[in-house]
Amino acid sequence: MLQVVESFGRIGEENAFAVLARAVELERQGKSVISLGIGQPDFKTPPHIVEAAIKALRDGHHGYTPATGILPLREAVAADIHKRHGLEVSPELVMIVPGGKVTMFMAILMFGEPGAEIIYPDPGFPIYRSMIEFTGATPVADHMREKNGFAFSAEETLKLITPKTRLLILNSPANPTGGVTPKAEIDKLVAGLEKFPNVAIMSDEIYGQMTYDGFTHQTLLAYPQIRNRLIILDGWSKTYAMTGWRLGYSIWPKPLYDAARKLAVNSYSCVNASAQFAGLAALTGPQDSVAAMVEEFDRRRKLVVAGLNKLPGVSCVSPRGAFYAFPNVSKTGWKAKQLASNLLEEAGVACLGGPDFGIHGEGYLRISYANSAENIQKALERMNEFLSTRKAA
Ligand code: PLP
């Protein structure tokens, strides 16, 4: 009998990939499926970025790079943060990683162990909880409430901190809800955190450039009083439609940087060299494709929210960021996951049940509007037909 270590019995995953596989299988059988399930832009990576990667390969960039990434890219990340936020970050604290996920993997490995508590948003990105459980730490769910627009409440978050808390995970703009935490609330949270100097903070800001309706993203980097214990998770996947390139970055407090570098050396060595050159072109080249993509997402956001609010038993608050809507379906009579499953199998609409994002996700669906306006319209019609004719199972 093979004896895999016990912690692998606790590792979770993302149901989005299973739903995608099932949608592909249904399509293979000849059924029509509209995918509102997966969290990636439906746009192509802008051509100048693709060309930069091809050029890097032609120029002979075929070898290992430093484990923390090529210096010009780390400098470009620092310059980009300065341009967007007016804040100074040393390139020596920037680490290039293979996708945004890797930062959370590393940070949770650094702080999670039996007896430790880690606070994470719920509903939230499922890998937070999965990794916390993997390390044996206790996951402490921070309820993101619909009445707060799914934003953090400083008061509620601070109340969850105990002497055992090692790490607090923040995510704004958020997956799966589209919640964006206002600056005033983050100010309050940071002020409260000053009383807990032993708590590290990981701020997942991967959707930072995708906000709407005048809401803006407040980076945690703007608070010098917590910089010595702040980890920033960001990357290219969403902003530049580069999910398949596997390119992200973290900003570490100085004492943690070397530990992160060693994790890289012990696992992936460095990020694919040509992808790093693509990332450099993304940050230093024209940004109009980012603005165009966000504008298009905003158009679809309005379409999807208006359409969802017309469905029987469904209500949906306007998401302020990312490209997800998180409608409340509790009045349909369906359990959320059962509804998502039936919508896929019977109506040909792929979306995710709220419980895929935590215990507080019951009663909600996650709809990714990273699909064409035409397909979104068709999906809404299919959902309407389904909910109007089909009794709850
Ligand atoms: N953080 C959040 C909140 C996400 O939604 C995602 C991807 O869906 C990631 C991180 C991971 O991004 P990447 O694909 O770059 O690993």
Contact 37, 350 (CB under 8 A): yes
If you count DSSP H runs as helices and E runs as strands, how many of each does the chain have, helices first?
12, 12
Local confidence band at 345 (pLDDT 50, 70, 90 cut-offs): very high
Identify whether residues 329 and 224 lie together within a single domain. no
The answer, yes or no, to whether residue 4 has pLDDT greater than 90, is: yes
Local confidence band at 197 (pLDDT 50, 70, 90 cut-offs): very high
Identify whether residues 128 and 267 lie together within a single domain. yes
Residue 105 lies in a domain: yes
Residue 85 lies in a domain: yes
Local confidence band at 176 (pLDDT 50, 70, 90 cut-offs): very high
Contact 122, 142 (CB under 8 A): yes
Identify whether residues 160 and 187 lie together within a single domain. yes
Residue 310 lies in a domain: yes
C-beta of 206 in contact with ligand 1 (< 6 A): yes
Identify whether residues 248 and 173 lie together within a single domain. yes
| Alpha-carbon span 120 to 157, nearest angstrom | 9
CA separation (Å) from 197 to 108, 132, 183, 191, 223? 18, 21, 21, 11, 14
More confident residue, 82 or 13: 82
Instruction: Tell me which residue has tokens 């109506």.
Output: 347
Identify whether residues 246 and 315 lie together within a single domain. no
Helix axes 273-284, 71-85, angle to 10 degrees: 30
- CATH assignment at residue 279: 3.40.640.10
Q: Nearest CA to 296 among 372, 377, 197?
A: 372
User: Can you list the positions of beta strands (E) in the chain?
Assistant: 34-35, 94-97, 117-122, 138-143, 165-171, 200-204, 230-235, 248-251, 324-325, 349-350, 352-353, 365-368
> How high is the pLDDT of residue 48?
98
Choosing from 238, 246, 250 the residue with most ligand 1 atoms within 8 A of its CB, the one to mutate for a pocket test is: 238
Q: Which two tokens stand for residue 328?
A: 């409340």
Q: Which long-range contacts (CB under 8 A, 24 or more apart) does 156-164 make?
A: 157/119, 157/189, 158/189, 158/192, 158/193, 160/119, 161/119, 161/196, 161/199, 162/117, 164/115, 164/116, 164/117, 164/138
Residues 19-69: tens digit of each pLDDT: 999 999 999 999 999 999 988 888 999 999 999 999 999 999 999 999 999
Q: Looking at 284, 314, 338, which one is the last position of a domain?
A: 284
> How high is the pLDDT of residue 39?
84
Mean local confidence (pLDDT), 161-175:
98
> How high is the pLDDT of residue 337?
96
Identify whether residues 24 and 67 lie together within a single domain. no
Is the dihedral angle over the CA atoms 173, 170, 176, 141 positive or is it negative?
negative
C-beta of 39 in contact with ligand 1 (< 6 A): yes
Identify whether residues 80 and 23 lie together within a single domain. no
The model's pTM is 0.97
Q: Looking at 266, 284, 302, which one is the last position of a domain?
A: 284
- Count of structural domains, the chain: 2
- Burial of 258: CB neighbours in 10 Å, binned 0-12, 13-18, 19+: exposed
Q: Which atom of ligand 1 is nearest to the CA of 40?
A: 8
> How high is the pLDDT of residue 41?
87
Residue 130 lies in a domain: yes
Identify whether residues 168 and 271 lie together within a single domain. yes
> How high is the pLDDT of residue 215?
93
Q: Which domain holds residue 353?
A: 6-44+288-389
Choosing from 101, 129, 181 the residue with most ligand 1 atoms within 8 A of its CB, the one to mutate for a pocket test is: 101
> How high is the pLDDT of residue 40?
86
Q: Which atom of ligand 1 is nearest to the CA of 14?
A: 8
Q: Looking at 232, 266, 284, which one is the last position of a domain?
A: 284
C-beta of 171 in contact with ligand 1 (< 6 A): yes
> How high is the pLDDT of residue 250?
98
- Percent of the chain's residues with pLDDT above 90: 95
Local confidence band at 165 (pLDDT 50, 70, 90 cut-offs): very high
Residue with the nearest Cα to atom 5 of ligand 1? Answer: 175
CB atoms within 10 A of CB 227: 18
- CATH assignment at residue 15: 3.90.1150.10
> How high is the pLDDT of residue 16?
86
Residue 77 lies in a domain: yes
C-beta of 243 in contact with ligand 1 (< 6 A): yes
Contact 116, 166 (CB under 8 A): yes
Residue 21 lies in a domain: yes
> How high is the pLDDT of residue 393?
76
Residues 216-262: tens digit of each pLDDT: 999 999 999 999 999 999 999 999 999 999 999 999 999 999 999 99
> How high is the pLDDT of residue 251?
98
Q: Which atom of ligand 1 is nearest to the CA of 101?
A: 16
Residues 367-390: tens digit of each pLDDT: 999 999 999 999 999 999 999 998
C-beta of 99 in contact with ligand 1 (< 6 A): yes
Distance 39 CA to ligand 1 centre (A): 8
- Percent of the chain's residues with pLDDT above 70: 100
Residue 52 lies in a domain: no
Identify whether residues 162 and 123 lie together within a single domain. yes
Local confidence band at 346 (pLDDT 50, 70, 90 cut-offs): very high
Identify whether residues 84 and 218 lie together within a single domain. yes
Residues 271-327: tens digit of each pLDDT: 999 999 999 999 999 999 999 999 999 999 999 999 999 999 999 999 999 999 999
Identify whether residues 197 and 332 lie together within a single domain. no
12 φ/ψ sector (left φ>0, alpha ψ -120 to 50, else beta):
beta
Identify whether residues 273 and 321 lie together within a single domain. no
Residue 50 lies in a domain: no
CA separation (Å) from 205 to 198, 221, 239, 245, 270? 22, 10, 11, 18, 22
Distance 322 CA to ligand 1 centre (A): 11
